Chains A and B, each alone.
Chain A
Amino acid sequence: MSDASAEPLSESDMEAWAQVSGAGMANALRGLSKMLGQEIATGVVSTRRVPLMEATELLGGPEAATAAVYFALSGDAQGHMVLVYVPEVAFELVDMAMGDPPGTTKDLGEMERSVLGEVGNVMGGYFLQTLGDTSGMSLRMSPPAVMMDMAGAVIDAVIADIMVFSDEVVVVETEFGTDQRRVHGTFLVMPSPTLIRGLSKSRRAA
């Protein structure tokens, strides 16, 4: 991430981020519901600052087995997005997207990874649509990187990038799912200070 800044984020910056990212999460879940053809509910959307040393706890601890989809944000501001599932839930999500009975998917081959990547594309794209249209910034995301690994390995590269300018990370996280089929996941967004300030500025100007 290249938009480091020594200026600390203000409370109004954080308030703006909480409001816009909450709307972005709702839009992301709308995209997922449309993709799966059923209503996906979101839990409480939480925005907070987390010390970098504790970041792996966001994914259940460094040794937690995860299936994760990672995107780098670029364009007018930078950041990171990670969608995290326990492996069994990722398999269930693939079954739903493919229209297969529960229990069909037992591993992540090329096709299954592309399904998880596309789920991430839709959620990330809809989230960024809210942020971009609210702020006027042009925000892009990288192609998805789908990983099956321990949480520590998934998040280490992200932490290394953020460490360049901060010893804490601002995250927005929520859990989502449906009662009928088990598709609970966690959506983490780690924006750069420039992205948060851009949103805050656009809200003040509105």
Chain B
Amino acid sequence: MTKILIVDDAAFMRMKTKKLLAAMGYDVVEASNGAEAVDTYKRTKPDCVLLDITMPDMDGLTALKLLLALDPNARVTMLTAMGQQTIVLEALQSGAVDFIVKPFDSARVLAAVEKMVA
């Protein structure tokens, strides 16, 4: 079963995203900040990651760099309300596969996941 790591400090967003992905048959693991994401990635080896940017302890852009250092083949899509051009560019240049601005459209998230695991 395809495993997806959702990283968001907001319990509401993790619940909403997990509900969407679980209904489509995906196995979902969760983390609530960047440091926890790196640890969970090591332990569970997910097929792809949905990663928020604004989080306590370690933000998503820092976590993205650490995940790619840990696994250069990591497939990560940023899922964030921070849609400024400078931030989108930084994320894509840092190695994110895709960038989705919240509040998200379900079809857009599913398309991003399918693209990452294809």
Stretch at the interface among A60-68, A121-129, A147-155, A172-180: A121-129
Q: Is the CB of B11 within 8 A of A125?
A: no
Given the interface pairs A121-B54, A121-B102, A143-B55, the reply to whether A114 lies near B83 with Cβ below 8 Å is: no
B56 touches A129 (CB 8 A): no
A139 to B90, CA, bound (A): 13
Q: Which of B9, B10, B12, B82 contacts A129 (CB 8 A)?
A: B82
Query: Does the CB pair B11–A114 fall under 8 Å?
Result: yes
Question: CB-CB contacts of A88-103 with B at 8 A, as 1s and 0s?
Answer: 0000000001100000
Most-contacted residue by chain A among B55, B81, B85, B101 (CB, 10 A) = B81
Of the four ranges (under 10, 10 to 19, 20 to 34, 35 or more), the interface on chain B belongs to 20 to 34
Q: How far is the CA of A110 from the CA of B101 in the complex (A)?
A: 24
Q: A31-B103, A140-B54, A143-B54 are in contact. Are A125 and B82 (CB under 8 A)?
A: yes
* A132 CB-CB contact with B under 8 Å: yes
Q: Which 6 A-B pairs have the closest CB atoms?
A: A125-B81, A132-B84, A35-B103, A114-B12, A138-B86, A114-B11
Query: Which partner residue on chain A sits nearest B84 by CB separation?
Result: A132
Q: Select which of B10, B56, B82, B85 is within 8 A of A141 by beta carbon.
A: B82
Residues 110-147 of A, flagged 1 when their CB comes within 8 A of B and 0 if not, give 11001101100110111011001100111111110000
The smallest C-beta distance from B45 to any residue of chain A, in angstroms, reads 27
Closest to A112 in B: B12
User: Footprint of A on B, CB under 8 Å?
Assistant: 9-13, 15, 54-56, 80-87, 90, 101-103
CB distance from A62 to the nearest CB of B (A): 28
Q: List 7 A-B contacts (CB under 8 A).
A: A110-B11, A114-B10, A118-B102, A121-B102, A125-B54, A125-B82, A140-B87
Q: CA–CA, A136 to B85, complex, Å?
A: 8
In the complex the two chains form, what is the Cα distance from A98 to B9 in whole Å? 17
Which chain B residues lie closer than 8 Å to A34 at the CB level? 103
The answer to whether residues A129 and B11 also contact, given A121-B54, A121-B102, A141-B54 and a CB cut-off of 8 A, is no
A126 to B101, CA, bound (A): 9
A97 to B103, CA, bound (A): 11
B103–A117 CB distance below 8 A = no
Q: Which of A118, A136, A137 is B12 in contact with, Cβ under 8 Å?
A: A118
Q: Is the CB of B13 within 8 A of A132?
A: no
